């Protein structure tokens, strides 16, 4: 068996074991994007760093993990790393080299070759401050002197100064050999990667959640030490978060976009549907249905259909991310599907997006009522007019009710009728006053167990 066959589909153990079939339940049809990316990296003649850009909660990790599993099944050596779970005291060079040694080990010594070359190079990479701190600690501990002893500190400072001068002099002499170490590492790794057949892929997830200096060091190490043919890095990120990391490290006036393009070949945005695109609504509706189905629940039940219709509209108009939609639906299920989905859906959206409003809203706080009606709901009502098949009467009825709460028009029959017809269930009891509506909203909030009193 040749080496590429032995490496085919190799991945560190247990990384993606829970994905039985890549892109199963792909409601957003992102399989096509994965196929295009696979074709692209297979045609590459050089290495690449590809960033998959999407907002928080839009499915970056889901896409990256499923694409990695798909690549594994087509014979690509794949490593999947959660950067946020790594020890950020380690140099990223160590982390990447260690993963590659595991990934590309063919059982005939290639892993040990990578480790050996990386260890020699890493020894030369250890920063001066780290070496001196280690020298001081070892010297004091060997003499039995407490680390906080002032006299020992002065003596160790003199020793450290001498060590610094000696170390710099030795480093200058060693510079040609260190250049050779760098060249040897790249040649050895490049030869092993080239022999792997299909491109080796490292998916580095959650980089934008890391401490900024650690994230930037990752990018710099990738470009400086691992930029070689047949080796591809994939970074699922929120681009704006990576921009902030660059500015945190190099200053607020840094052109973060220009800086990142030195290290990332291109950013690819996960496809998103326009807010009022019927296809987007259909996918949101299907996504909510999939959450119900995953919980073993019949999506044709009338109350769930009503929740699905309203949550689809809320999700498109607010807008909510896929993760927020899943949280909202799961919260509704966890609350044992309380009565009046029209009210429950509204409260759940507030809990997810405006949790600080819930308690003052239920306590009839005028400032909160005004912000809700004149700001939040006004925008929702305006957007609903552009939304195909939108329950715009529902949004108007909600806004009109909270307008009335603000103005103290507590016996407005038209407002009551609109709320009764467009928000409440057809079989709901007859509402005689706006006070009863306010009471009903508080009751549903209690059923939702939102930890709100009053």
Q: What pLDDT is attached to residue 272?
A: 66
Question: Residue 418 and residue 393: Cα distance in Å, rounded?
Answer: 8
Q: Which residues pair with 200 in a beta bridge?
A: 231
Q: What pLDDT is attached to residue 141?
A: 47
Q: What pLDDT is attached to residue 178?
A: 81
Question: Residue 68 and residue 169: Cα distance in Å, rounded?
Answer: 47
* Number of Cβ within a 10 Å radius of residue 87: 8
Q: Which of 302, 292, 362 shows the shortest CA–CA distance to 328?
A: 292
* Number of Cβ within a 10 Å radius of residue 138: 10
Q: What pLDDT is attached to residue 80?
A: 95
Q: Which of 121, 79, 135, 129 shows the shortest CA–CA distance to 104?
A: 79
Q: Could you tell me the CA-to-CA distances from 367 to 296, 378, 398, 405, 442 in Å, in that order?
A: 42, 15, 17, 11, 18
Q: What pLDDT is attached to residue 134?
A: 46
Backbone angles phi, psi at 364, to 5 degrees: 65, 35
Q: What pLDDT is attached to residue 111?
A: 93
Question: Residue 58 and residue 321: Cα distance in Å, rounded?
Answer: 6
pLDDT tens digits along 357-400: 988 888 888 888 888 988 999 999 999 888 877 777 999 999 99
Q: Which residues pair with 48 in a beta bridge?
A: 232
pLDDT tens digits along 153-166: 455 555 556 667 77
Enumerate residue ranges in the chain where pLDDT < 70: 1-15, 125-163, 272-278, 407-411, 450-454
* Number of Cβ within a 10 Å radius of residue 236: 24
- Which DSSP string corresponds to 356-380? HHHHHHHTT-HHHHHIIIIIIIHHH
449: left (phi over 0), alpha (psi -120 to 50) or beta: left
pTM of the model: 0.68
Q: What pLDDT is attached to residue 25?
A: 78
Contact (CB, 8 A) for 118 and 247: no
**Surface-to-core class of residue 75, CB atoms within 10 Å of its CB (0-12 exposed, 13-18 middle, 19+ buried):** middle
């Amino acid at each position: 068996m040749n080496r590429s066959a032995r490496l085919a589909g190799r991945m560190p153990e247990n990384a993606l074991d829970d994905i039985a079939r890549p892109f199963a339940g792909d409601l957003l049809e992102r399989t096509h994007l994965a196929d295009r990316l696979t074709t692209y990296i297979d045609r590459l003649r050089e290495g690449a760093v590809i960033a998959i850009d999407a907002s928080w909660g839009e499915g970056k990790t889901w896409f990256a993990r499923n694409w990695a599993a798909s690549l594994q099944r087509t014979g690509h050596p794949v490593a999947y790393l959660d950067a946020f779970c790594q020890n950020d005291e380690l140099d990223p060079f160590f982390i990447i080299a260690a993963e590659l040694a595991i990934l590309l080990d063919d059982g005939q010594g290639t892993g040990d070759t990578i480790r050996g070359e990386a260890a020699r190079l890493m020894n030369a990479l250890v920063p001066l401050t780290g070496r001196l701190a280690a020298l001081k600690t070892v010297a004091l501990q060997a003499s039995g002197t407490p680390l906080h002893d002032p006299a020992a500190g002065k003596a160790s400072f003199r020793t450290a100064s001498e060590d610094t001068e000696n170390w710099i002099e030795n480093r200058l002499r060693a510079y040609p050999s260190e250049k050779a170490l760098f060249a040897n590492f790249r040649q050895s790794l490049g030869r092993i990667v080239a022999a792997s057949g299909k491109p080796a892929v490292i998916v580095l997830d959650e980089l934008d959640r890391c401490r900024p200096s650690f994230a930037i060091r990752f990018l710099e190490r990738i470009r400086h030490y691992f930029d070689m043919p047949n080796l591809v890095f994939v970074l699922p990120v929120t681009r704006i978060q990576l921009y902030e990391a660059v500015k945190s490290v190099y200053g607020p006036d840094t052109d973060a976009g220009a800086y990142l393009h030195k290290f990332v070949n291109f950013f690819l945005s996960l496809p998103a549907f326009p807010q009022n695109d019927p296809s987007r609504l259909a996918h949101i509706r299907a996504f909510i249905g999939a959450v119900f189905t995953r919980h073993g629940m019949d999506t044709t039940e009338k109350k769930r259909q009503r929740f699905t219709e309203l949550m689809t509209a809320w999700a498109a108009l607010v807008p909510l991310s896929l993760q927020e939609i899943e949280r909202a639906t799961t919260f509704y299920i966890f609350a044992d599907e309380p009565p009046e989905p029209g009210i429950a859906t509204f409260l759940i959206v507030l809990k997810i997006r405006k949790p600080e409003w819930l308690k003052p809203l239920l306590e009839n706080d005028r400032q909160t009522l005004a912000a809700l009606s004149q700001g939040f709901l006004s925008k929702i009502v305006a957007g609903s007019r552009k939304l195909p098949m939108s329950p715009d009467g529902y949004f108007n009825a909600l806004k009109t009710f909270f307008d009335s709460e603000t103005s103290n028009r507590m016996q407005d029959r038209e407002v009551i009728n609109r709320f009764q017809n467009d928000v409440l269930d057809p079989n709901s009891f007859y509402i005689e006053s706006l006070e009863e509506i306010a009471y009903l909203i508080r009751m549903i909030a209690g059923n939702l167990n939102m930890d709100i009193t009053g």
